[in-house]
Structure 1
Amino acid sequence: MTFNDYQFKEYIHQALAAANFERPTPVQEKLIPVVLSGRDLVGESKTGSGKTHTFLIPIFQMLDETADQVQAVITAPSRELATQIYQAARQIAGHSETDLRVVNYVGGTDKTRQMDKLQSNQPHIVIGTPGRIYDLVKSGSLDIHKAKAFVVDEADMTLDMGFLETVDKIAATLPRKVQILVFSATIPQKLQPFLKKYLSTPVIEQIKTKTVISDTIENWLISTKGRDKNAQILEMTKLMQPYLAMIFVNTKARADELHSYLTANGLRVAKIHGDIPPRERKRIMSQVKNLEFQYIVATDLAARGIDIEGVSHVINDAIPQDLSFFVHRVGRTGRNGLTGTAITLYQPSDDSDIRELEKMGIAFLPKLIKNGEFQDTYDRDRRANREKSQEKLDLEMIGLVKKKKRKIKPGYKKKIKWAVDEKRRKTKRIEARARGRAERKARKQEF
């Protein structure tokens, strides 16, 4: 199925063609008709699945371009996400012959100027962070009481960042018949009260995929045991030759340390974390899009809040403390059908976390750096698997083996070894006699 099979407005088709969007993603193919039907919707799918256009295309299709009022409100939990949605919406609106007013209201911008502009006219589509949108609604500047659609994007992140209460207040000012669309990578239990309060018999769709992460991503696992991690990452950067690589760290302090180290070694590295002022972060993002950096060191704020085109590699400096962030980190690469490589550094103490990730359906390829290249290596479980394959010793045998480990007199080890071997021989003889009896009995029954 292609987008040409849909009966969209002509300017929507033009916008999709200009963006080289030919075929809908599985999420779009399944959910766009649901949104167009006017039903409330809870859409759950993995990151990078095309959720943004899943709600933007129907919103523009149902938009009354001649009505001078707010017709859709879209919230996102971070400025970066809101700005990405805004840019996608502007791209569609730019192909309309009618002037479509799409605005982006986020923190760190001039609220007074926004309020002044709202005095002359209201936008058709409002996009922004919950706090700034609610501030404008509460002040009486932004009038959303006639909106037809309300979108809560990245609902799980909205909940995690403590913005759900503000989203609740926005929803309370909307008309009762407003269509509510909730999109999220996961639907946590704590989100259920909000859904029950505002959504009327919603369509609940979980777009299942064969893998938790895109099958276009190679997911490597590299041990840091006995290695200097900074030097190891620097060595990897020389071997990867990335178009653009994101390096995720668990703390701001680690981001500062790694950024300084890589920069001192001549790499073009951007740094993004929660202590970077909004204006500085905006400047950095602009430089990233202009390809002024080849590497970005970021905390998990960026993992959930930024969608940067062209990320060829992701490096996990460490496994995230919240394992759900692993999927969002890795999902920064391998998007839109492109291939990507995700490299996770681990140490022996991370084994339980790796097992949990494997239970989620994430498969790792063990790698090492040798002779100036990445090479396949053995599975980290090879010793455990080998031990499992050995015959199980009975209690008497285990006791004998344990005795071997003690500090004993010369010659005694040989006696223990002989005893262990003799026990094995006896066991084999007993098993052989039992098989012989069974075979003789079977032959007698034949006659």
Structure 2
Amino acid sequence: MGSVSGADWRLIGSALAAIALIVLLITKLKLHPFLGLILGSGLLGLAAGMPTGQLIESFSDGVGSTVAGVGVLIALGAMLGKLLADSGGADQVVDTIMGRSGVRRLPWAMTLVAVLIGLPMFFEIGLVMLIPVVLLAARRARVNVMLLGIPALAGLSVLHGLVPPHPGPLVAVDALQADLGLTLGLGLLVAIPTVVVAGPLFAKVAVGWVAVARPPEPPAREQTPDHRPSFTATLATVLLPVVLMMGKALAGIVLAEGNPVRGALDFVGDPLIALLAAVLVGMVTLGRGAGLTRDRVGETLSSSLPPIAGILLIVGAGGGFKQTLVDAGVGETVTRLADGAALSPIILGWLIAVAIRLATGSATVATISAAGIIGDLALGLPPVQAALLALAIGAGSVFFSHVNDAGFWLVKEYFGLTVGQTIRTWSVMETLISVVAIAIIYPLSLVL
């Protein structure tokens, strides 16, 4: 701690002021996070004494590298999710699993459905798709809607926060230069027990806190083709990129460099190739499997891109903010402070993400900012530790969603809850996800 100078404290103060400005702009002035991140980056650079030319260059480089590293993957993930929705493949998964479940197993079935749907789909899209299923099943089974709603929300939220190709984990992996396949494998390892605790198990407790007399009417669902792709084909398509990326990670562990099998797995397991392959396969198994024409498949792919424009802009601006933090020297200063305080990078990353999440309500902003602040800590870490650090930041980014988070209001309105009921269910569930995940990640970091 004694090695930290007055200039270092100035950098820390500049970073805190920039984050405070972003929080103020997003939460109070309702400015779009894209603009808030640009202005916050400007304040950070100027307050830290960066020349204006270097500030603009740092921000631009950060935007370019982040969009190049993450943007294409987000776009491919959106295409796969849209194919799954428009072909009726998602409905096939839901109907197959729900049709084989009795009332007692419904919460577990809903968890499985949410996890499978949540792998390729963004949280908001998965939520809109599953809400009618949750409400209809709750009505038919005559159970408290939160008994099924909590497992569905937990499955979607855990995947969104911890497992690529969702934007948050992708951004953390890119910023920390972690191995994506390794992060995916460890993310699934952490996600399974986290979903179980925060989903079906917590749902049994939550129903005692919130009495919903009668589930609201399910919203109308979009028309899907009469002929759906088979459950097996749909499941294989959804899991294809997961298998390919995990195959690459395993090959790096068990096969020697120069091995032709490892070379092939390294290629097909690259995130870009894995997701591209899933989209191309999905055009046949999902699109043609549902009897969609080539034109209709093309329309589906095209319509998947406009809704993610805002996400790409936020992620890009967040990358610019991250690079400004790095080039201003904030990361090096935080590294020295952490070394002096003997604080684990895993815990530090989680705490920073939690603080920014609580302040901004945005999991993406929390992930980007936390990864930028402690990015230098990841440079000397072994691959497993870097992957766990990315997961710790993702876990912190979902902590206690409240009134400054759009997801809070989405859940409240869809389930017909009051603000208090939403806090006792959704907000507590999000906090449980964050705490359970870090409670698994930190011990793993000590033994792996």
Larger-gyration structure (1/2): 1
TM-score, shorter chain, exceeding 0.5: no
Choose between structure 1 and 2: higher helix proportion: 2
Tell me the TM-score range normalised by the shorter chain: under 0.3
Which of 1 and 2 has higher RCO (CA within 8 Å, sep 6+)?
2
**What TM-score, normalized by structure 2, do the two folds share?**
0.25
